[in-house]
Structure 1
Amino acid sequence: MGIKLFATDLDGTLLNSDDKISKRNADAVHAAIAAGIIVTFATGRMYCSAVKYAEKINMDVPLVTYNGALIKSTAGKVYNEEYISEDVVKAFVDYCAHKQWYLQVNSNDKLYFPTYLQRSADYEKSTGIKGETVGWHGLSEKTANVAKMLFVTDAYAQKDMREKLEAENGMICEMTHRFAGKVTLVRSKKGLIEVTSPMVSKANALRFLAKHFGFGMDEVMAIGDGNNDLPMLETAGKSAAMGNAAANIKAACDYVVDTNDNDGVAEALYKYVLL
């Protein structure tokens, strides 16, 4: 049975190291759409960040954003929403303020900082989205329609990782225990720990879209490179890991393609989907 739904991660997958979609990748995506395949971006990014890439290559498709907390088309049709409870957001922010753990909040598809640091500027640059600095008290009031909160740690723009990763692991364990059943924490890439509602994952988003369009999971293919991609890669009927993915991601997938700087998504589409 052929693939009818193709889900691609953005960072480290469809996007190259310059945060751009190459012409070959764009051409492959358009070829898939022309063949009747639904293509979706499945990303931890904000909707307002992800939609810019879809618009650049003239795609009107459902976009899985915030790791699945918001599924919304390029044209603005909302398929599904799953926000963190407002009381949980406030308690989480207040606890991070007490610990002085730098946290960003995405409320109503906008970006808020407690204080503006170099990592804030780096994050703005990587996403193309400008945030607003509101202080810790102001951050605790940004509780409406929170699709994601995000720890941006010291490791985000640094190379010396071992000690930083140990600190991140401790943070993840502590907050997972303290907010058990209320949020899910996952490290998406170096220095980024994403916090979402417990039922949110790229895997659940793929299940939702497959059911919505009447497809079986054996008709779904996913491609990615990070730990937040792993659930959807394991859930999809077929999966491909990028050449730049870690060994555990490659081991979980049916195929391994070239890197994000060498059009791995196009390779996956031409070799395994557009047969």
Structure 2
Amino acid sequence: MKIKLFATDLDGTLLDSNDKISQKNIAAIKEAVNAGTIVTFATGRMYSSAVQYARQTGIDVPLITYNGALIKSTSGKVYSEQYINPLAVQEFVAYCEHKQWYLQVNSNDALFFPVYLERSADYERSTGIKGETVGWQELGRKNENVAKMLLVTAEYGKQDVEEKIQEENSMIYELTQKFAGKVMLVKSKRGLIEVINPAVSKANALYILAKQFGFGIDEVMAIGDANNDLPMLEAAGKSVAMGNAADNIKSVCDYLVGTNDNDGVAEAIYKYILK
């Protein structure tokens, strides 16, 4: 069956280890679009960050951002919006302040910090977005159109990887129990825990786009590497795991390609879309 929608994750998938899209990946995406396939980026990143990469490809595509909370095209057409309840945002910010857990808030596609730390600067560098430091009290007031909040834990040390993983899992469990039905927590990669509307996922975003464009989920292919990609990989008609993906991701996918530093996305497009 012809693939009509190709959804690619960004970090660890389309982007290499330097947060760049290779020329080979750009060329493959353009060829897929010219052949009639809709290409979408499916990412936990902000729209304002993801759209910079879309513009590099020179095509107007729907972008699944904030793990699906906002689907918006390169040219600005909005397909879907699902934000966190404003009261839930206030409660969550207050709880994280009490626990002294570092939290960032994305409101109206802008980035806000309670305090400015090295991890704030790291996040700005990786996304290409400049944030605003507003203090904890004001952070709780940034509750309008919040697509995502982000818990950023401390750096992983060489000796405490397992300890840090257990600590993050414990945070997720505690917050999931405390805010059940109000938010959902997704671990995208080490040190980053994304907080979104419970109805939001990359999988739901694929269903929304497939319905709007008039084809079935079996005509969708998704490619990714991380746990926040798992729902869309399981939902898509065909799924591709990156060579750098964890074993649990590889085990659910139909195909396996090279790593993000070896043009795995281009490999998938040429092998399974343009075959």
Q: TM-score range by the shorter chain?
A: over 0.9
Between the aligned partners of 1:272 and 1:73, the Cα distance in structure 2 is 24
Are 1:100 and 2:90 an aligned pair?
no
- For residue 198 of structure 2, give the secondary structure of its aligned residue in structure 1: coil
Give unpaired runs (5+ residues) of structure 1.
Answer: none
Between the aligned partners of 1:53 and 1:249, the Cα distance in structure 2 is 24
Which residue of structure 2 lines up, in the alignment, with residue 180 of structure 1?
Answer: 180
* Amino acid across the alignment from 1:268: A
* Amino acid across the alignment from 1:6: F
Which residue of structure 2 lines up, in the alignment, with residue 250 of structure 1?
Answer: 250
Between the aligned partners of 1:241 and 1:164, the Cα distance in structure 2 is 25
TM-score of the two chains, using structure 2 as the length reference: 0.98
- For residue 63 of structure 2, give the secondary structure of its aligned residue in structure 1: strand
Which residue of structure 2 lines up, in the alignment, with residue 195 of structure 1?
Answer: 195
Between the aligned partners of 1:16 and 1:38, the Cα distance in structure 2 is 22
- Report if the CA contact (8 A) 2:29-2:57 is conserved: no
* Amino acid across the alignment from 1:253: C
Which residue of structure 2 lines up, in the alignment, with residue 27 of structure 1?
Answer: 27
* Amino acid across the alignment from 1:127: T
Aligned pair count reads: 274
* Amino acid across the alignment from 1:148: K
Which residue of structure 1 lines up, in the alignment, with residue 163 of structure 2?
Answer: 163
Are 1:63 and 2:63 an aligned pair?
yes
TM-score of the two chains, using structure 1 as the length reference: 0.98
* Amino acid across the alignment from 2:100: Q
Which residue of structure 1 lines up, in the alignment, with residue 272 of structure 2?
Answer: 272
Give unpaired runs (5+ residues) of structure 2.
Answer: none
Between the aligned partners of 1:100 and 1:253, the Cα distance in structure 2 is 38
How far did 1:158 drift?
4.3
Correspondences of 1:1-275 after superposition (within 5 Å): 1-155=1-155, 158-159=157-158, 160-275=160-275
* Amino acid across the alignment from 2:59: M
How far did 1:208 drift?
0.4
- For residue 270 of structure 2, give the secondary structure of its aligned residue in structure 1: helix
- For residue 105 of structure 2, give the secondary structure of its aligned residue in structure 1: strand
Q: List per-residue Cα deviations over 1:16-68 (Å, max 9, x = no partner).
A: 11111101100000000000100000000000000000111212000000000
- Report if the CA contact (8 A) 2:13-2:223 is conserved: yes
- For residue 185 of structure 1, give the secondary structure of its aligned residue in structure 2: strand
- When the two chains are superposed, the root-mean-square deviation of aligned CA atoms in Å is 0.7
- For residue 251 of structure 2, give the secondary structure of its aligned residue in structure 1: helix
Between the aligned partners of 2:157 and 2:44, the Cα distance in structure 1 is 21
